[in-house]
Chain A
Amino acid sequence: MAQGALFSPAVSPARPGAAGLLWRMVRRRRITGVGAALILIVVLGALAAPLLAPYDPVALNVPDRLLGPRDAHPFGTDEFGRDILSRTLYGARLSLLVGALVTALAATAGVLVGLAAGSSPRADRILMRIMDGLMAFPDVLLAIGLMAALGPSARNVVLSLGFVYTPRIARVVRAAVLVVIRLEYVEAARAVGASGARILARHILVNCASPVIVQGTFITAYAMLGEAALSFLGVGVPPQVPTWGGIISAGQVYLRQAPWISLFPGVAIIVSVLALNLLGDGLRDFLDPRLRYS
């Protein structure tokens, strides 16, 4: 039997950095590497959008309106002659930013709720009832309701989706806390006189990191889909900002003459979400083998 099989990764003495972890994950499941590479491409494309975009994403150029894909405009142009490739690249910036901020917000709020619920039975009863209630709404519908109340803006999209996805993090954190809190090393920490807050922060929180990272990856994907749906419906980010959902929505009117307007941003959404889901599956396999699908 190989040495590696005797020890689970969590207790192996070597502590590789992020690159080392990724390498080990990819060796276990090669498709994870594809996901990581695709995400890297999308992130680099978004960061380098001002360098890569051949045209200004918002400047009007009416003589070139509704041109099909060609050398000068690989993804074609829209009804105002704006270059779809440039708009899709700039759209990646907003989409990724919303995805990342929603994840950060949901993770922060979810960890706080999960820690409180997992460590106090009284808080648990109230908080988890609230979380169950919030999860009774379809994601997009609750987000639409919140957007209706808050008003359309990128900031409010982040707030709404962050709120919608908080229960998912809270649930996994609570479950992890309930397991970890019974372990002997927590008892040991208590025995040597560590305070409750210190035990939570230093000993319990770190052991909840894996499920949060896995869920967080999926939430980034959901949030990017959610933002696209809200902007498509016209209740998300205002239309003057290029977003994938917004470009698809504008292209809907010209579906007959210019289907490429809606086509390319849609492909960008699919590639990004697929990549995040592949990465999330790889992380889940690697960090929490008990949750493996097959």
Chain B
Amino acid sequence: MLAYLTGRLLALLPVLLVVGAVVFLLIHLTPGDPARVLLGQDATPEQVQALRHDLGLDRPLIVQFGLWLARAVRGDLGLSIFQHVPVTDDILQHAGPTVMLSLLAITVALLIGIPAGVVSAVFRNSWLDQGSLALAMLGAAVPSFWLGLSLIVVFAVNLGWLPSSGYRSLSQGAGLSLHYLLLPALALGLPNSSLIIRFTRSSLLDVIGNDYIRTARAKGVNERAVIFHHAFRNALVPILTVVGLTFAALMGGAVVTETVFSLPGVGQLVVSSVLRRDYPVIQGVILMVGTIYVLINLGVDLLYFLVDPRVKY
């Protein structure tokens, strides 16, 4: 186990290095001098020169990358051009809504995806199966931002049940927070349930075809226990993989959903930073999300160990 863990962590390093390199090179794709880009239009030539020296822009690209990476690893992502605060602080201040939205949205996706997938597999080729698959097809085609706007029209504008925008943190009360986050979580969770439906269905169908399921049925275990105790637990491993993938896709989708519902999260931070050309913030957010994604995948791999005793490292 320990050897596996070390190996797995070492294998992460090249991937994280590429993640860092992509984010680092983004700034060099922009036309013009990165120092001027980083400082914004109203910087004096002296400031630009000082930053050039600070960032080592006169040195080879690879050295610059090394210096930048060394800072990034210590959590120093530079200063925001617009707010003049450390990017790390800026991101952390906006993290709350994004984390809450992502967690609620994956909950929605699981609450829809797993039951729909199980029903689909158990009642294969029935109208329930067709309905679940149709839902999955539709979910994969609906842009989450359009679904968000449609939910606002129905539930906020016409019915007046839920607010159309804004955010209340958990400290202001869990109920109130949920009230504000329900529509965004539905808008983001529904489209992301489609992969979970399809994978739960196919994974469960694979398992149901096994001999031990026939044995369990033959010895008179009731169908509910066969599905949940014998089949579902074994179908869980591939499902976990797709839940990890979905969570990552969802963090990208959160960027767009936050804009629809005016949630003051990381997504809104990155979009407003693009419009203000605040490159250090854009780099910081992308680096952080990429790193979280890599870590989530690691977490999923380690979860296999808990879920499936056959997996030995």
- Residues of A at the B interface (CB closer than 8 Å) are 129-130, 132-134, 136-142, 144-151, 221, 225, 228-229, 232-235, 245, 248, 251-252, 255-256, 259, 262-263, 266, 269-271, 273-274, 277-278, 293-294
A138 touches B275 (CB 8 A): no
**Count of A-B contacts with CB under 8 A?**
152
A269 touches B256 (CB 8 A): no
In angstroms, Cα B191 to Cα A225, docked, is: 12
Q: Which residues of B contact A262 (CB under 8 A)?
A: 146, 149
B256 touches A294 (CB 8 A): no
Give 10 new A-B contacts, CB below 8 A, not counting A145-B26, A235-B271: A132-B18, A133-B16, A138-B293, A140-B252, A141-B270, A144-B255, A146-B29, A233-B255, A233-B274, A235-B274
A233 touches B141 (CB 8 A): no
23 A-B pairs within 8 Å (CB atoms) are namely A133-B14, A134-B22, A136-B290, A136-B293, A137-B19, A138-B289, A140-B256, A141-B251, A141-B255, A148-B274, A149-B29, A229-B256, A248-B143, A248-B146, A255-B152, A259-B153, A262-B149, A266-B150, A273-B140, A273-B141, A274-B140, A274-B141, A294-B201
A145 touches B286 (CB 8 A): yes
Main secondary structure of the interface of B (DSSP, over half): helix
B18 touches A130 (CB 8 A): yes
Q: Which residues of B contact A294 (CB under 8 A)?
A: 124, 201-202, 205
Q: Nearest A residue to B293 by beta-carbon distance?
A: A136
A274 touches which of B19, B137, B146 (Cβ 8 Å): B137
Interface residue B142 (Cβ < 8 Å from any Cβ of A): yes
Q: Which residues of A contact B137 (CB under 8 A)?
A: 274, 277-278
A138 touches B252 (CB 8 A): yes
Cβ distance B123 to chain A, nearest Cβ, rounded Å: 13
Cβ distance B61 to chain A, nearest Cβ, rounded Å: 16
Q: Which residues of B contact A130 (CB under 8 A)?
A: 18
Given A136-B293, A144-B271: A233 in contact with B19 (beta carbons within 8 A): no
B270 touches A144 (CB 8 A): yes
In angstroms, Cα B143 to Cα A270, docked, is: 7
In angstroms, Cα B19 to Cα A134, docked, is: 7
In angstroms, Cα B271 to Cα A274, docked, is: 28
Interface residue B260 (Cβ < 8 Å from any Cβ of A): yes
In angstroms, Cα B253 to Cα A277, docked, is: 19
Interface residue B9 (Cβ < 8 Å from any Cβ of A): no
Q: Which residues of B contact A255 (CB under 8 A)?
A: 149, 152-153, 157, 164
Interface residue B243 (Cβ < 8 Å from any Cβ of A): no
Q: Which residues of B contact A232 (CB under 8 A)?
A: 143, 145, 256, 259
Residue of A146, A148, A233, A245 with most chain B CB atoms under a 10 A cut-off? A148
* Chain B: interface residue total (CB-CB under 8 A): 57
Cβ distance B124 to chain A, nearest Cβ, rounded Å: 8
Those 3 A-B pairs whose CB atoms lie nearest each other, nearest first: A138-B252, A133-B18, A266-B146
Which residues between 151 and 207 of chain B lie within 8 Å of chain A, taking CB atoms?
152-153, 157, 164, 198, 201-202, 205
Interface residue B279 (Cβ < 8 Å from any Cβ of A): yes
In angstroms, Cα B27 to Cα A170, docked, is: 25
Cβ distance A231 to chain B, nearest Cβ, rounded Å: 10
A132 touches B15 (CB 8 A): yes
Q: Which residues of A contact B85 (CB under 8 A)?
A: none
- Residues of B at the A interface (CB closer than 8 Å) are 14-19, 21-23, 26-27, 29-31, 124, 137-138, 140-143, 145-146, 149-150, 152-153, 157, 164, 198, 201-202, 205, 248-249, 251-253, 255-256, 259-260, 270-271, 273-275, 277, 279, 282-283, 285-286, 289-290, 293-294
Cβ distance B159 to chain A, nearest Cβ, rounded Å: 13
In angstroms, Cα B205 to Cα A145, docked, is: 40
A133 touches B255 (CB 8 A): no
Cβ distance A125 to chain B, nearest Cβ, rounded Å: 9
Given A145-B282, A270-B141: A133 in contact with B202 (beta carbons within 8 A): no
In angstroms, Cα B152 to Cα A235, docked, is: 23
Residue of B21, B201, B249, B289 with most chain A CB atoms under a 10 A cut-off? B289
Q: Which residues of B contact A150 (CB under 8 A)?
A: 29-30
Q: Which residues of A contact B271 (CB under 8 A)?
A: 144, 233-235
Residue of A138, A139, A232, A262 with most chain B CB atoms under a 10 A cut-off? A138
In angstroms, Cα B289 to Cα A269, docked, is: 27
Q: Which residues of B contact A139 (CB under 8 A)?
A: 249, 252
Q: Nearest A residue to B18 by beta-carbon distance?
A: A133
Given A137-B19, A255-B157, A262-B149: A234 in contact with B141 (beta carbons within 8 A): no
In angstroms, Cα B174 to Cα A169, docked, is: 44
A136 touches which of B30, B273, B294 (Cβ 8 Å): B294
In angstroms, Cα B285 to Cα A229, docked, is: 18
Q: Which residues of A contact B294 (CB under 8 A)?
A: 136
Cβ distance A212 to chain B, nearest Cβ, rounded Å: 20
A149 touches B142 (CB 8 A): no
A136 touches B15 (CB 8 A): yes
Q: Nearest B residue to A272 by beta-carbon distance?
A: B141
Cβ distance A241 to chain B, nearest Cβ, rounded Å: 18
A270 touches B21 (CB 8 A): no
B256 touches A136 (CB 8 A): no
